[in-house]
Chains A and B, each alone.
Chain A
C-alpha cells in the first residue's frame, strides 16, 4: 500500500512549522491581503443569494446520498462513461494511479503532458513519478506554474501561490522564462504565462486533468476553472487522462445545478467562474480521440468507514474554510505540511495519510467555527477535529503530561469536595505560579490574579448571613 498525501508524511509538526512561518512578515502580509480580499468578495456574492442556506442543505444532502450509495454510483459512472467511449481505470493508492497514467502516456510514445490543476495528482506526487521516467509535466494553471517554476510548494487549495505577491511572481517569471523585460501589472504577468504556454498547448499530445464533479447518471465529467488552461488541456490533446477521488461522483446531472452555484461563490467570490467544461466520453470531431478516467481511492474508503467523520468527503475543495480560518490567516498553508491546508486540511490529511503521521494537525484550530459557518456543504469541521483528537487520545498518541493532567482534572471535577480542595491548592500556588508562569502562555500574557475566595466559599458566607 502506498497511500500518500504529497510529502505530508515527512512534514514538521504544525506548531514547529507555524513558529517559523510567523517570522516571515512578507508572507504573512501576502496571505492576509489575499484572504481579506477573497473573504470580502465571497461575503458579497453569498449575501445576495436569498436561497444560499437551501443550496447548502441540498449540497450536503446530495453528498450524503452519494457516499451512502457510493458503490452503485461508481459502477453506474463506469458504465455510462465506457458507453460514451471512455476507459475507466481504478487505482487503490498513489503508486497504482501513477503507474496507470505513466503506462497510458508511454503506450502513445509521448514524453510530455500538459496538466490543469489537479489536487489528486499532487496527492500521488504524479509529477515526481513522471519526471522519474523521463516524461515532462507542464503545469498550466497560473498559480501552479508559479509554484512549478519557483520550485515552491502550494499554500492554498484554490490559489496555490497565494503566499506570493506580484513582484515576487514577476521575478520568478523573469528568471525562468528567459524574459529580459516584463511589466509590473498583473495583466503583464498573465500575458507572459499566455505566451509561455501557448506553444505547448498546441504541441503536446497528452492532456491531464482532475475533475470537480463526475456524474453517475451520464458518465459526464466537469472541470471548473477561470483561465482557459483547463479547456485547453481537456480539448486540444489527442489523449486525455482525468483522475479524481472516488468521492467526486454526484448522482445526477441536475445535481450540478447546486454545486455550480455553491462552488464559484465560495471559492473565488464570483457569481460564476469564467469557464465550466462538461464532457461525456469521446465526441468524434471535437476534442481528444481517447479518454481515460482514473478513479482514485488513496485512503478515501478508510475515511468513508468512519461514520463520525465521513462527511470530510463532502468537500468540494472551495477553500472558503482556509480564507475564513484565523489560524490559516496567520500562518498560511505551508504550516500544515500538506497540499491540503487550513481547517479541511487539518481533518483530511490525517485521515487519508494515517493519524500517526499528523497528530499535530487536529489541534491546529481554536475551534472557533468560522470554517463550518462558510462551508458550502456544511461539513462540521470543529466536530470532526474533536473526533480526531479523541482518536489520538484513545490510541495513546497524546503526551504523558497531558494525559496525567486530564486524569487529575477529571478526578477533581467529578466531585465538588475534591474541587474545593483543589481550589485551595490553586490559591496556595498562586505565588509560585505568578513567578514561573505557564509555558507558552506567559510569553505574551499575564495570568489572572487568583482570588483569595472562590465563589462557592462566598456563597457559604452569604448563606450564613
Chain B
C-alpha cells in the first residue's frame, strides 16, 4: 500500500511536469521584466512620517510620537488611554523600555487559550511602509511569534523612524535575510468588506491597533 501511494505521488508529479513542458515547448524563454514602477523614495523625512501617520489615521489607529528615551512614558500613556493593565510582550522585548505600573507578561510559550485571555500585546516591528500605512513584523524576539499579535484584541506596536520607508518595494527589501522568517504585514486593525463592500473594523484579528513612532 505504502509503495503504491509513493508511486502514485511521483507519477502525478512527473505527469504534471510533463504536461507543462509539452504545453510551453522546449525553448528556454527569458521573458524580460521591466520594473519602471517606483522603487525609491520621493518625500523628505518629515513628509514621509506625516504620510505614514495620515495612513494610520485612515485605519483609525491611534498614533503616538516620541523621542529616543521616551518609549517607556509613551507606552504607559498609550496603555492608560485604552485602560490596559496587563499586557503580553515578546520574550526578547527590551526590559528598559517598559514603564512601571502595567503588568507585562512575557510570552514563554503560553498556550493559545492563555493568550486569548489577555488584554493585548506590545511588540516592536521590523519595518513600516508610509504609503500604505503598513507595519511589517518578522516575528523576531522583540516582535513575538505570530499568535501573540493575532489572538489578543489589542496590539500596540512600536516602530522607529529609521525603520520607516516610503514605498512597498523598499518595505519588502528592508526584510533582507529575514524574509524567510514568518512575515506579517499589518495595515490597520482586522477588518472586512464582505458586508455591502463597506470596510468594517474588527473581525478576527485585533480590533484595536495603536502605533508609537519613535524618532531616532
Q: Do A and B come from one complex?
A: yes
A128: Cβ under 8 A from any B Cβ: no
CB distance from B179 to the nearest CB of A (A): 6
Contact assessment for A229 and B204 in the assembled complex, using a CB-CB cutoff below 8 Å: yes
| Contact (Cβ within 8 A) A54 B20 | no
A51-B38, A257-B172, A286-B145 known; A228-B205 Cβ under 8 A: yes
Pairwise interchain contact B16-A246, C-beta atoms closer than 8 A: yes
Q: Which residues from 18 to 64 on chain B have a C-beta closer than 8 Å to any C-beta of chain A?
A: 19-24, 28-39, 55, 59
Say whether B29 contacts A305, CB under 8 Å.
Answer: no
Contact with B along A152-169 (1 / 0, CB 8 A): 000000010110011001
* Chain A contacts for B192, CB-based, 8 A: 142, 190, 226-227
Chain B contact patch, size range: 35 or more
B16→A54 contact, CB < 8 A: no
User: For residue B147, which residue of chain A has the nearest CB?
Assistant: A235
CA distance A279 to B182 in the complex (A): 5
Q: Give the CA-CA distance A201 to B179 in the complex, in Å.
A: 26
Assess whether A37 is in contact with B196, with CB atoms less than 8 Å apart: yes
The answer to whether B200 touches A90 (Cβ under 8 A) is no
Q: Among the listed B20, B34, B185, which residue makes an inter-chain contact with A304, where contact means beta carbons less than 8 Å apart?
A: B20
Closest Cβ neighbor of B193 among chain A residues: A268
Distance of A205 from chain B, by nearest CB (Å): 11
Q: Known interface pairs A71-B17, A84-B180. Does A91 touch B150 (Cβ–Cβ under 8 Å)? A: no
B35 to chain A, nearest CB (A): 5
**Bound CA–CA A169/B192 (angstroms):** 14
B216 part of interface (Cβ distance < 8 Å): no
CB-CB nearest in chain B for A261: B168
Contact B139 A286 (CB under 8 A): yes
**Chain A, residue nearest B153 (CB):** A194
Task: Please state if A272 and B134 are interface contacts (CB–CB under 8 Å).
Answer: yes
**If A142-B195, A218-B180, A268-B193 touch, does A89 touch B9 (CB 8 Å cutoff)?**
yes
Q: Does B191 contact A (CB under 8 A)?
A: yes
Inter-chain contacts of B182 with A (CB < 8 A) = 277-280, 283, 286-287
| Contact residue among B13, B33, B205 (Cβ-Cβ distance under 8 Å from A275) | B205
A146's partner among B36, B193, B194 (CB-CB below 8 A) is B194
B residues within 8 A CB of A227?
A: 190-192, 194, 203-205
Q: Which of chain B's residues have a CB closer than 8 A to the CB of A236?
A: 112, 147, 150-151
Q: Give Cα distance in the complex from A277 to B205, angstroms.
A: 13
Query: Is the C-beta of A187 less than 8 angstroms from some C-beta in chain B?
Result: yes
* Given A37-B196, A218-B180, A228-B203: A272 in contact with B191 (beta carbons within 8 A): no
Q: Please, how many angstroms separate the alpha-carbon atoms of A69 and B31 in the complex?
A: 9
B30: chain A residues at CB < 8 Å are: 65
- Cβ-defined contact, A54 with B36, below 8 A: yes
User: A274 touching B189 by the CB < 8 A rule?
Assistant: yes
Residues on the A chain within 8 Å of B37, using CB: 51, 54-55, 58, 258, 261
Nearest Cβ in chain A — how far from B63, in angstroms? Answer: 16
14 example contacts (A-B, Cβ-Cβ < 8 A) are as follows: A68-B29, A69-B28, A71-B17, A169-B195, A186-B196, A190-B200, A227-B190, A227-B204, A231-B146, A253-B179, A256-B172, A271-B131, A283-B181, A301-B19
- B contact residues vs A (CB 8 Å cutoff): 9, 12-13, 15-17, 19-24, 28-39, 55, 59, 109, 112-113, 116, 129, 131-134, 139, 145-147, 150-151, 168-169, 171-173, 179-206
For the complex with contacts A74-B16, A280-B180, 8 further pairs of A-B residues with Cβ separation under 8 Å are A58-B37, A62-B33, A169-B195, A202-B151, A258-B35, A285-B109, A287-B147, A301-B22
